[in-house]
Structure formats: C-alpha cells, structure tokens
Structure 1
Amino acid sequence: LPDEQRLEEKMETLGAADMDRLAETIATFHRNRPAEPPSHGFRSRLQNVLNTIRTVGGMDFEAALHSLLSSNRKTLNTRRFHEVDGHGDLRPDHIYLSDDAVNIIDCVEFSADIRQVDPYEDLAFATMGLRLNHRPDLARHLALSYLHRMCDVRGFLLMDLYEIYRAAVRLMVDALQLKEAGGENRADYLRRRSEAYASLIEDLISGKKSIHNGNRRQLQGLGKATATDGGGSGSPHAIGWKGPLLILLAGLPATGKSRIAALIREEGIPVLSSDVLRKKDDTRPEMRKPEAYGQGSYSSKKKMLNYRKLMCQAGRLFEKESVVCLDASFSRAQYRNLAYRMVSRSRPAMDILILQTDCSEEIIRRRLDKRKTRPGFSDLTDFDTWKKLKENFESVDLTVEGDRFHSASGARLHHLILDTSGEKRTSISPELKQMVPHLFLKRQS
C-alpha cells in the first residue's frame, strides 16, 4: 500500500465523505464480529496500563481518572457484554484510503485478549489519532458517522474515556521506549509525543476537550458562544446551532430525509435513524427487505416498540449532547408524543424543530424504482405501499410559519416543510437560519 494513502499523510485533504467511508468499513467489520464472553473488563486493562506508567515515569492525572471511572462504573460493566474480537490497534498510520477502497492493516495478531474490545474502544484509537493530528473535526464526524450506522448510544457516551485509555496505552509504550532510546533525537521525539498524549488525557478528563458537544462545561459557556466556536471549551462541533434542541426529521419515505440527515450530521449533530435502529442486530442492514403495508417489522406493535427504543436512545444522547436529530417518518401523532414525553423527562425547556420533507409523487416513484437496485437501510421500494402510508399519515398540527409552547413537554415547537423536489442540497443551515433564526447562535463582532 502506498504511503501517500495512509491516513496520517492525508490529514490536510481529508473531509466528511472520507470519514463516512471509514466509518462504514469499521462498522461493517464490527457488526459481523460475534460478541465474545465477557473479559475482566476495561477497568482492569486500564489499571494495568496505569501501573506500568507509574513505574516508568509517573503521572499527575491518576486520581482524577479514577473519579471518572467511578462515575461510569455501571455503564462500563454493561459494555463487557458487547466486546468483540476487534482490531486492537486502529491508529491512523494503519488506515489507508484510496479513491475506491479503505484498507486497514496491522491488527494485534499476537494477543486475542488485547483485540477483545468494546467496538467504540476500537474506534477511539482512530479518533484519538485524528485529534492528535489537529483534526478534531474529523474525529467528531467519524464518531457521529459510526454512531449513525451502529445506533448504540451507550458506547458512544464512553468515547472520551476510551480515548483516554488509548492515549494512556501510547503514553506507556513511549515511556518504555524512552528508557531504551538510542539517541538524543529519538529521545526528544518520544518526549514530545508523550507530552502530547499526557496533555490530551488531562484535557479529556477536565472536559476541556471532548468528542461530545453538550457536556456541562460546554453548556455553561453556551450563552457566550459565537457562531464559529459551536459551544465553547474548544468544541469544533454543531457550529451555529443553539441548544438544547431536538430535531425531528419527519415525512413520508423517499421524500429526502436521508439526504437532509446527512447534511445535519456533517454539521456536527448526531443523527439517530429509526430504519437503522430497526436493523441494529442485522449483519447486512443495508440489504432491503420489502414487506407489505403493516406487516412483519412494520406492524403497528413493532413500529411503536421501535419508536420507544429510539426515544430511549435519544434521551441517553442528551446526557452529553445539546442538539440531537431523530430521522423517522413520525407519521402518527402518537409517535411525536413519545418525543415530547422524552423531552419532558430528559431536557425540559428545550426547542423542538419538526423538519418535514416533501416532494411530488412523480419524484417519489422514481426514487422508489432506484431503490430496487441499490442498497439502503429503508426497506420500502413499492409505490402502492407508499400510497397506503400517505393515506394514513397524520398531519402535524402546527402552522408552517408559526411556533407554539407545548405545555406537556415544556418545549417550544417549530414546524417547517422542506421541498426536496429540486436539485440535491449541499447544505442545510443557511436555509434554516432564514426560517428559524432564533435556533442559531448569533455572531459576535
């Protein structure tokens, strides 16, 4: 594999599309790995690393890290049951991107124990590497793109902790190598790199840096944020959006929700999809499985169950995110009411933006025909089934221009309709800023 294809060599030219391809490759790999019997767990592995660092160089962050571990103890214990035989060393210098392929090399072949990881722990090695190469924007996008494909919020919420662990592993390796460094140049290089790892660990522990956009430290600075900093505390995420905000991306199938969702995700906002969640445990989720209206996975009972699961995931996501988008049809008032109740329990007094997509039936028919030969998370390909869905779609009871206070959830509701019949959009924020400017941060002179 040519060196110029290595991720480390491409940092200045990488973009969101590259991270989407990488996320898809990693997610497909993890999705096809069966869960392993629980190991001694992440805490045990981290403690072994800390013990080694203590013997070779010492550290100033151990007490704060143990406090962080204690606050995440319950979640970490449950993640032991999600471990797979992963890669184990998913650094940027082991990832190669060409125009037509993503190649990942050098897994930890010598130790099955080291390879047994929470999938998000595997991913954290890549996001940490992107961050250390001064691309926190790519680290965030890779994590969000992976979350979109896996729909596993609990693992995503541990990403900062997993990055700390991966940085500690590299700090340990450098400390051991520094003891045997052959020359002063090599020793200087290892010292500088060790300082970078230690600094990242301390910043992640303190909350100064985070893969998330909405931790307490960031939210405290939200009122002082500008349209370029996305929430303070060095956060590069969710540029321009004001939280707390729940976006319900609603509308009939094939009306362009997926495209709008991708644009929202490119702006640093996590997107959870009901279609992806429905196929969360499938090894080939993008294989379409058309079913008759109201049958199988699309029966009323199973659809309601899927919406309830979606709201549970969204509620967890608001623990560390200030803006969240849910991509689903929200075809009935009862589904939208689930979202309102979730808001009242998790983050009252937020804004809810119902962003409804729409287009002509002629375009719908063409899009459904294309789906028959293309992979995708949505199973719908039949126009007659689509017409039945349209007949049973319950309209949103808000005016297009207006907004209102929703007493049950404590939220302000806004409803916008986006016509997707024209040219494919390349951005979404400028359009929405014109329609609902109060949902965006104001630039400060």
Structure 2
Amino acid sequence: MTEPGLRGASQRSVPRADASELSSSALHGGAPPTRAEVRETHTAVVFFTGDRAYKLKKPVDLGFLDYTTPPARRAACEREVTLNRRFAPDVYLGVGEIRGPDAEGAEPLVVMRRMPADRRLSRLVREGAAVDDALRAVARHLAAWHADAPRSPDVAEQGTRDALSSRWEASFAQVGALADDGFVAGGVTEVERLVRRYLAGRERLFDTRIEQGRVVDGHGDLLAEDIFCLDDGPRILDCLEFDDRLRYVDGLDDAAFLAMDLEQLGASEAAAYFLAQYSEYSGDPAPPSLWHHYVAYRAFVRAKVSLIQAHQGTPAAETASRRLVSTALRHLRTSAVGLTLVGGLPGSGKSTLAGALADRLGVTLLSSDRLRKELAGIPAEQSAAAGYGEGLYTPEWTARTYATLLDRASALLSSGESVVLDATWHDPGQRESALRIAEGTHAHLVALHCQVPGDVSAARLSTRAPGTSDAGLDIVTAMAAGEPPWPEAVSVDTSGPLESAVSQALAVVRPWGTGQAPVFRRPIWSLTRRAGLHQASARRPLDLTHTASHLPAPASGELL
C-alpha cells in the first residue's frame, strides 16, 4: 500500500486535527507518536507512516457492504487480510487496533507493509517505462495462484453462461435507468445486441470452462494501481472482499480485468502481451473471442460505475463512461463469432484467400480439399484426381465431406471459435446447410464468392504445383457450365494481388474496420495442443485441420 493515487480516494485529506497523529503505542508499541500521511476512500481511511500503512474501515452502509458496527469492521479487516495474503503474504501483516483519546473501545485496522510509490504498475505505464518483464511476472504469479485457487460447486456456478448473462443484464438495467435520467453513453444498444448474441450460442464454451476447472476463487479487482513491481516479484493488493460471488470468476476474466485497465492507460499492446503471457503460463486454451468478451465485460462494468459517478456530479465521469463503452464495443465487435464461406471455382484463388483471411483475423481455417482426403485416409498432398463426379468427387463423397465440414464448424462456433470454410460451395443446398449452422450457433455468416476471368483461371491451373486440390481445367469447365447463382455472396475479384483480395474480404467480414481491438493470438503450443486433443477425441471431433498461421503463403503474393 502506498499513498499517491490511492484508488477511490477523495481529493482532500482527512483534517490533520482529526487524524494526523498515529502513535505506535496505539498499536501496542511504546515508541513516540509520528506524523502520518492520510488518504480517504469511500470505505476507509488509510494512514501512511514510516514503512507501514494502516487501513481503518469507515462506519458506513453502502448497501452492498455494512461497516456500521465494530464487529462488522473487525470482520472486514480480518477478511481483507486473509484474502489478500493469498497474493501478497508479506504485505498484509495482520489486524491491529487503535484507540483514540475519546473512544470507548479499540478500533480494528489492517496493518500493511508500505509499498514504494515509484514501483506502482500504473505509474510505470504512464511514464512509458518498459513493463514487459513486470507483466510477465504478474501473469506468472496470477496463473500460479489460479492453478491452486479454491474450487467448489458454488464457485463453478458463477462461471456458467447464465450467471454471466445475469451480470450483464443487471448492468444493462442500471445503465438504462441512468439513461432515463439523461446520462447516455452512445453504443450501449449495440453492446447489448452483441453480448446477447455471443452468449446465446456459447453455452458449450462456458460449460467446458467449468469442466476444465477454469472458474476459481480469484482476485476480482485486478487493477494496475494495486500492483507493485518489486525486484523480487510483483505484489498484488486489494482483492475484492465484500461479495464472494463477484470474486468467483473465470481465471481469464480475472486477467482480462488488468488487460482492460492497461488499455485505459493507453497501453493496448501491453494488454495483449499480458493476456498472451497469462495464456502461456496458465496453459489456457480459451478462444480469443472469450478474451475479448471478458475485456468488454470489465470495461462496461467500469463504464456503469462512471455513469453513476456522473449522475452524482463527479467531473469528467461522463466522458470516462463514453470511452469505456467504446472500449467494450470494440472488443465485442472483435469477439463476434463468425462463419465465413470462401467459395468459387478451382483456380479462382479461393484457398489462398481463405488462408490469408483466416491468418489476418486469427481464426480457424477448415478446408474441404484436406478434409475429403482425411476422410479417405490418404495424405492431403496425395493425388486423387478423377473425372468430374467420379472417385472421391462423387455426389455421395461430396455430401459426406460437406456434412463433416459443417459438423466441425458447428462445434467450433459453439466453443467460441470463428471459422473460415474453404470450399467451392457449388451446391445451394450446402450453402443452406451453412446458414442453418450459423443460425443455430448465433454466428455471423458471410459468404465470399471468388471470381476471375476464365483465362486467368486456366493460366493458374496450368502452372499450379501438385497439392491438396485435384481439379484440372476439364473439371473447372464442367463445373462452370452448371454453376448456379449465389446471390447471397459478395463477389471478390481475385484476379489481382493477394492483398487486394484480402482487403475486399475484410471490408465485408469486418465492416467497422480491423483496428477495433488487438488481435489476441494464443501461443503456438495451444493451437497444437487443441488439434491433438481433438484428434484423439471421437466425442468432440473439432478442428482436425490447419490453423491459418501454419499455412505457407505464396512466395509471389499472388493468388493461385
């Protein structure tokens, strides 16, 4: 605990005549009294003297906490020490007592080791100091705590999809009431829509998080202001203590709190780095969409608090609320789970575009060419060339390939993974099946139809090296003769450079722009581990495929 920038502190100090002298004799010592620096929050008065800080609970009743009686204040002090010793045992020294000259009894207070102000994480970030090492240490510390944190049915209950939905809806109701009083933060309506759509299709994801033991008794209030970066490791202070249910969180939610705070300090790259480090140390395979969703949740909760403060007349609070709602909206847009169909005739460049698009978005790529050969039990690069509608390309084989492709996409979408599907999408019935999958998983569906002049396609096919696709010019000619219209798809001109096609595709898939929020990417080990686990599981055959980051790009930058 250190004095500058105490979170929630008022702009004035407690009058020195009231509380400027704190004697060690009052804390059962015998040394002479010393002058104390004093700061005040909504619920406590904190005295700083020498190498100690003393936190005295105020006799207040704020509805969500009641400190109006001495036993309640003592219990709160004891609980604060017990809970925070989990993260910083050498900072929370115990519960002491202070007795004033006119007091009838001793007043309990939390006794803490005083932290150096110049090592506060928020200060380091504001000053532009290098913080990667500090954030890595915080991520390791937090992941280690989460690994050993208490788990129970009561804890797990707070990690369900419905529990999170209830917390979101409560915040929406509170913000709506404030809006009725004239305090409006733009974008709230879109936030509500995106949140409800994400949660509606992701029950499986949250159930899996509970099965994996990811919901823990955590910190619940992880802010850069309360983290001190010392030479022998970080000290994390001030966990949430007044409501256990709000501290029972997904470990990723706990980490996302700090990521959100770092973004508000103007350090979005540091926020993404911290989450990646947390994922590394915790071995957490969560989809990036969940990272974004939890950052958005934390931003919106703080926006709600800022709106309440604006309603109470706090200067600049309304501006802060707008900024926080904007942060929530950017992350929710980025977290939106999407199903993107990239189709077209062989030689149109669809596979190259699909791979580049998936890589740019940081999402999963599924390829019908690779899957068809997997189902046949042959290597993806082995030729299975046959006449039109023959061999592995009969209607029966094609129907089986697309059905499996969509089954795997459905499982991924339900688990919070956005997916790019690389196939011709020649059959309107298969397109309709993809639409039903998107509707059932509440995913955003986009269809892209790659188109090139016939001579460009022919030139590409004549020079293409052997690979996963077996189609030659004769197949393309037969398919083109019977190609049905695809009015739902957006045409993409893939006759030019790859980057041009990617830009066209991104304008459709991300109409609000690609700079909304950092693209969170899991460590490579996580991608490999997911693929291996799913390959070994007959019950959950998810992405038996290649992530886009593992696909080689054409050396020339051209579409093939």
| C-alpha deviation, 1:201, in angstroms | 1.3
Q: 1:206 to 1:156 in 2, by over 3 A?
A: closer
Instruction: Please state whether the residue corresponding to 2:220 is helix, strand or coil.
Output: coil
CA distance in 2, matches of 1:126, 1:33: 18
2:133 & 2:310 partners in 1: Cα distance?
A: 38
2:189 aligned to which of 39, 54, 60: 60
Give the structure with higher Rg (CA).
Answer: 2
Query: Does the CA-based 8 Å contact 2:135-2:274 persist in structure 1?
Result: yes
- Distance across 2 between alignment mates of 1:13 and 1:314: 42
Match of 1:214 in 2: 362
Aligned mate of 2:303, from 171, 175, 180 = 171
Q: 1:39 aligns with which of 145, 157, 176?
A: 157
TM-score, normalised via structure 2 length: 0.41
CA contact (8 A) 1:272 1:310 kept: no
Between 55-64 and 91-100, report the one with greater CA deviation.
Answer: 55-64
Q: Tell whether the 8 Å contact from 2:290 to 2:335 is kept in structure 1 after alignment.
A: no
Contact 1:95–1:104, Cα closer than 8 Å, also in 2: yes
User: Match for 2:201 among 71, 75, 84?
Assistant: 71
Q: Matches of residues 392-407 of structure 1 in structure 2 within 5 Å?
A: none
| Alignment deviations for residues 405-441 of structure 1 (CA, whole Å, 9 cap, x no partner) | xxxxxx65xxxxxxxxxxxxxxxxxxxxxxx9949x9
Partner of 1:24: 140
Contact 2:333 2:516 survives alignment (8 Å):
no
Secondary structure of 1:107 counterpart: coil
Give the SS at the match of 1:153.
coil
Question: After the TM superposition, which residues 223-372 of structure 1 pair with which residues of structure 2 at under 5 Å, given as runs?
Answer: 223=499, 233-234=514-515, 270-273=522-525, 309-312=529-532, 345-347=544-546, 350=548, 352=550
Equivalent position of 1:8 in the other structure: 122
Task: Report % sequence identity.
Answer: 22
Query: Do the aligned residues in 2 keep the contact of 1:42 with 1:80 (CA within 8 Å)?
Result: no
Residues 96 and 209 of structure 1, relative CA distance in 2, 3 Å threshold? farther
Instruction: Give the whole-Å Cα distance in 2 for the aligned partners of 1:106 and 1:121.
Output: 17
| CA distance 1:273–1:126, shift in 2 (3 Å) | same
- How far residue 35 of structure 1 moved from its aligned partner, in angstroms, is 1.9
Structure 1 position 89, deviation (Å): 0.5
2:277 & 2:140 partners in 1: Cα distance? Answer: 8
In the TM superposition, what is the alpha-carbon distance from 1:80 to its structure 2 partner? 4.2
Instruction: Please say if residues 228 and 236 of structure 2, whose CA atoms lie closer than 8 Å, have aligned partners that are also in contact.
Output: yes
CA-to-aligned-CA distance 1:248-303 (integer Å, 9 cap, x gap): xxxxxxxxxxxxxxxxxxxx8632549xx9xxxxxxxxxxxxxxxxxxxxxxxxxx
CA distance in 1, matches of 2:245, 2:335: 32
2:251 to 102, 119, 135: 119
Partner of 1:379: none
- How big is the alpha-carbon RMSD for the aligned residues of Structure 1 and Structure 2? 4.0
Give the CA deviation at 1:64: 2.5
Q: What is the match of residue 218 of structure 2?
A: 86
SS at match of 1:103: strand
Structure 1 length-normalised TM: 0.51
